[in-house]
């Protein structure tokens, strides 16, 4: 059994000088130090091929934190933080090198957490190296980053490899969206408020939109991204995770097992999209050159290292349907893309129209109520509704009004907590509910694979170009207008 309290840990980071460690993990760990969340005796051990001693590692860590943390480093915090840092020179392909790590770990009796911030092709060597030297035994934990494979088959392969050495209860699969404050709040919003709880189904909801829009392009990651595309990079994980949290039934309690079970039911109930309905259910696009925030940006195929004939999608829009009693007839429209007009993520719940209109004299058509949940930035919840315009007019005149709640507008934490901060802390506490289980990853691939295969097979679903700085290809609008609906406008 994994002990679920904040205990002294040895956090071993494989990929110590990689991008993820520098940009996200180290700054987040420093912030946890600053907020005194790390156990007094916890150590952080960078592991990698660099020929560094611990002093050299410490100076790399300081530079990384200075570069990627948007605040001054405080001497007293740094002093404590740097005293936790160690470096272990290890080539994961050399089985015997793991004995060096063992030696460091044996100095203490801390719970060990291995964080694999490495490319997928080195994962198996790490699992095996740890297993062969008995470094895998409970209560050790292991944290895996996405992507876990590029399809169901490859994902199963990784899961089978790791399961030779680690139990599912030891494995923490990261989807960093699950560490975001606004995503966690969805559970509170849905299950702590009777109004939402009772109106969250196909009796009252017309449709749901989920948008994750990015301004960035591929940020120099051509090789990675061209193999993945936006579908594997964003939809398979982040968008499907949001969808499952929005659609899942109430779990019996807020434990990992119960939440994961309910999310899994949704993934299993997703209607299949394949070559038969690919053109009506999906749109894919690729960014052309354009202007973002007044700056000219290149087309996808002009990015550094690009293959000019690439058909990889940087934009996806999908109409997803959940085939269960609660959601039958309620489409979930998902869209995500790179180099779009603004960076923001939002869920829009659009309610059904009222069956009879009492106000026909002034309003021929009633608008629909909307609940707009802004996940990022400026996290907020807005509710659109109708009001009578005050006055002595004989007729009722209506106006559309808005109730708005800003998530960080109060004496609670002023700044949003970085997702990695929360997830690192949860892994140190040994709590798995914010991590994705094997079945979820595989079920998501089971739904995604036929879509990607259908794109490959179906000539008429060729990729559509969109100008950078816009909202994607025109046909993304058609996906909704065909159903007499429109994307909620960004504002
Ligand atoms: C990552 C993807 O998982 O999420 C990136 O690999 C993407 O391509 C990023 O840009 C978006 O994360 P966030 O937190 O900035 O919305």
- 58: CATH: 3.40.50.720
**366 or 378, which is more confident:** 378
- Together in a domain, 228 and 141: no
HEC states along the chain? Answer: CCCCCCCCEEEEEECCCCHHHHHHHHHHHHHHHHCCCCCCCCEEEEEECCCCCHHHHHHHHHHHHHHHCCCCCCHHHHHHHHHCEEEEECCCCCHHHHHHHHHHHHCCCCEEEEEECCCHHHHHHHHHHHHHCCCCCCCCEEEECCCCCCCHHHHHHHHHHHHCCCCHHHEEECCHHHHCHHHHHHHHHHHCCHHHHHCCCCCCEEEEEEEEECCCCCCCCHHHHHHHHHHHHHHHHHHHHHHHHHHCCCCCCCCHHHHHHHHHHHHHHECCCCCCCHHHHEEEEEEEEEEECCEEECCHHHCCCCCCCCCCCCEEEEEECECCCCCCCCCEEEEEECCECCCEEEEEEEECCCCCCCCCCCCCCCCCCEEEEEEECCCEEEEEEEEECCCCCCCCCEEEEEEEEECCCCCCCCCCCCHHHHHHHHHHHCCCCCCECHHHHHHHHHHHHHHHHHHHHCHHHCCEEEEECECCCCHHHHHHHCCCCCCCCCC
Residue 166 sits at the vertex; the CA angle it makes with 164 and 171, to the nearest 5 degrees, is 130
Residue 415: pLDDT over 70: no
- Together in a domain, 244 and 305: yes
Q: From CA 299, how far away is CA 337, in angstroms rounded?
A: 14
Structural domain contains residue 394: yes
Residue among 19, 176, 232 whose CB has most ligand 1 atoms within 8 A, to mutate: 176
Structural domain contains residue 4: no
- Together in a domain, 244 and 116: no
CB 313, CB 491: distance < 8 Å: no
Structural domain contains residue 490: no
Ligand 1 lined by 233 (C-beta under 6 Å): yes
The string of pLDDT tens digits covering residues 424-455 is 999 999 999 899 999 999 999 999 999 999 99
- Together in a domain, 96 and 229: no
Q: Cα of 215 to ligand 1 centre, how many Å?
A: 11
- Together in a domain, 84 and 217: no
Is there a catalytic annotation at residue 238? yes
Number of structural domains, the chain?
Answer: 2
The residue out of 130, 145, 160 marking a domain boundary is: 145
- Together in a domain, 310 and 184: yes
**Residue 381: per-residue pLDDT:** 96
- What is the rounded average pLDDT of the residues 259-266? 96
Task: Give the mean pLDDT of the chain.
Answer: 93
**Residue 2: per-residue pLDDT:** 44
Sequence-separated (6 or more) residues with CB below 8 Å from residue 482 = 280
- What is the rounded average pLDDT of the residues 112-127? 94
Q: Beta strands 282-292 and 315-320: pairing type?
A: antiparallel
Q: From CA 339, how far away is CA 233, in angstroms rounded?
A: 15
**Residue 255: per-residue pLDDT:** 86
Structural domain contains residue 154: no
- Together in a domain, 245 and 371: yes
Ligand 1 lined by 346 (C-beta under 6 Å): no
Residue 279: pLDDT over 60: yes
Atom 13 of ligand 1, nearest CA residue: 177
Atom 9 of ligand 1, nearest CA residue: 234
Share of the chain above pLDDT 90, in %: 84
The residue out of 91, 121, 145 marking a domain boundary is: 145
**Residue 256: per-residue pLDDT:** 84
Atom 15 of ligand 1, nearest CA residue: 214
Length of the chain: 491
Ligand 1 lined by 214 (C-beta under 6 Å): yes
- Together in a domain, 83 and 212: no
Structural domain contains residue 156: no
Q: From CA 367, how far away is CA 376, in angstroms rounded?
A: 26
pTM: 0.94
- Together in a domain, 124 and 225: no
The domain that holds 443 is classified in CATH as 3.30.360.10
Of the residues 97, 176, 207, 238, only one is catalytic, namely 238
- What is the rounded average pLDDT of the residues 260-273? 97
The residue out of 145, 164, 193 marking a domain boundary is: 145
Residue 1: pLDDT over 70: no
- For residue 111, the cross-strand partners are 9
Structural domain contains residue 162: no
- Together in a domain, 309 and 408: yes
The string of pLDDT tens digits covering residues 68-105 is 998 899 999 999 999 999 999 999 999 999 999 999 99
Structural domain contains residue 217: yes
Q: Cα of 235 to ligand 1 centre, how many Å?
A: 11
**Residue 393: per-residue pLDDT:** 82
Q: Cα of 338 to ligand 1 centre, how many Å?
A: 10
- What is the rounded average pLDDT of the residues 269-285? 96
Q: From CA 186, how far away is CA 194, in angstroms rounded?
A: 14
pLDDT-derived band at 3 (thresholds 50, 70, 90) equals very low
**Residue 396: per-residue pLDDT:** 84
Residue 138: pLDDT over 60: yes
Which one, of 201, 272, 230, 3, lies nearest residue 112 by Cα? 3
CB 129, CB 105: distance < 8 Å: no
Domain assignment of residue 286, given as a range: 178-415+438-481
The string of pLDDT tens digits covering residues 320-368 is 999 999 999 999 999 999 999 999 999 999 999 988 888 887 777 778 9
- Together in a domain, 357 and 236: yes
- Together in a domain, 359 and 260: yes
- For residue 141, the cross-strand partners are 113
Q: From CA 474, how far away is CA 482, in angstroms rounded?
A: 13
**From the centroid of its chain, how far is CA 274?**
25
Q: Cα of 25 to ligand 1 centre, how many Å?
A: 15
Structural domain contains residue 270: yes
N- to C-terminal Cα distance for the chain? 48
The string of pLDDT tens digits covering residues 152-197 is 999 999 999 999 999 999 999 999 999 999 999 999 999 999 999 9
- What is the rounded average pLDDT of the residues 470-491? 95
Ligand 1 lined by 145 (C-beta under 6 Å): no
Q: Cα of 165 to ligand 1 centre, how many Å?
A: 29
Q: From CA 338, how far away is CA 218, in angstroms rounded?
A: 8
Residue 487 sits at the vertex; the CA angle it makes with 476 and 289, to the nearest 5 degrees, is 45
């Amino acid at each position: 059994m994994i002990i679920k309290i904040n205990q002294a840990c040895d956090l071993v980071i494989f990929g110590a000088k990689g991008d993820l460690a520098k940009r996200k993990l180290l700054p987040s760990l420093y912030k946890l130090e600053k907020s005194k969340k790390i156990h007094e005796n916890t150590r952080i051990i960078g592991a990698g091929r660099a020929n560094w001693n611990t002093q050299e590692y410490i100076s790399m860590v300081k530079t990384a934190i200075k570069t990627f943390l948007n605040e001054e480093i405080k001497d007293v915090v740094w002093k404590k933080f740097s005293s936790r840092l160690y470096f272990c020179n290890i080539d994961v392909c050399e089985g015997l090198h793991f004995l060096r790590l063992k030696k460091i770990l044996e100095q203490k009796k801390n719970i060990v957490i291995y964080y694999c911030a490495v490319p997928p092709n080195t994962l198996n060597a790490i699992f095996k190296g740890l297993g062969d030297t008995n470094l895998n035994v409970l209560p050790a934990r292991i944290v895996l980053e996405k992507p876990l494979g590029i399809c169901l088959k490859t994902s199963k392969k990784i899961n089978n490899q790791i399961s030779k050495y680690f139990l599912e209860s030891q494995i923490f699969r990261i989807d960093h969206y699950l560490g975001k404050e606004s995503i966690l709040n969805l559970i509170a919003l849905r299950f702590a408020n009777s109004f939402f709880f009772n109106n969250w189904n196909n009796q009252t909801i017309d449709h749901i939109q989920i948008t994750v829009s990015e301004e960035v392009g591929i940020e120099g990651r051509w090789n990675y991204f061209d193999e993945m595309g936006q579908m594997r990079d964003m939809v398979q994980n982040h968008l499907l995770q949001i969808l499952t949290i929005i659609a899942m039934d109430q779990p019996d309690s807020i434990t990992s097992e119960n939440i994961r079970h309910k999310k899994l039911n949704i993934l299993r109930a997703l209607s299949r999209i394949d070559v038969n309905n690919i053109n009506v259910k999906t749109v894919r696009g690729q960014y052309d050159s354009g202007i973002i925030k007044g700056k000219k940006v290149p087309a996808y195929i002009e990015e550094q290292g690009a293959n000019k004939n690439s058909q990889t999608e940087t934009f996806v829009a999908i109409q997803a349907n959940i085939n269960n009693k609660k959601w039958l007839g309620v489409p979930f429209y998902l869209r995500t893309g790179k180099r779009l007009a603004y960076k923001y993520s939002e869920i829009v719940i659009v309610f059904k129209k009222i069956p009879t209109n009492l106000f026909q004299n002034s309003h021929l058509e009633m608008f629909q109520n909307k609940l707009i949940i802004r996940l990022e930035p400026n996290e907020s919840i807005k509710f659109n509704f109708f009001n009578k315009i005050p006055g002595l007019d004989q007729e009722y005149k209506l106006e559309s009004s808005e109730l708005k709640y800003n998530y960080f507008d109060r004496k609670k934490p002023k700044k949003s907590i970085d997702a990695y901060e929360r997830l690192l802390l949860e892994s140190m506490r040994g709590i798995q509910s914010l991590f994705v289980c094997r079945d979820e990853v595989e079920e998501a691939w089971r739904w995604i694979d036929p879509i990607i295969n259908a794109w490959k097979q179906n000539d008429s679903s060729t990729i559509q170009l969109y100008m950078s700085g816009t909202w994607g290809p025109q046909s993304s609008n058609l996906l909704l207008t065909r159903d007499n609906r429109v994307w909620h406008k960004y504002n």
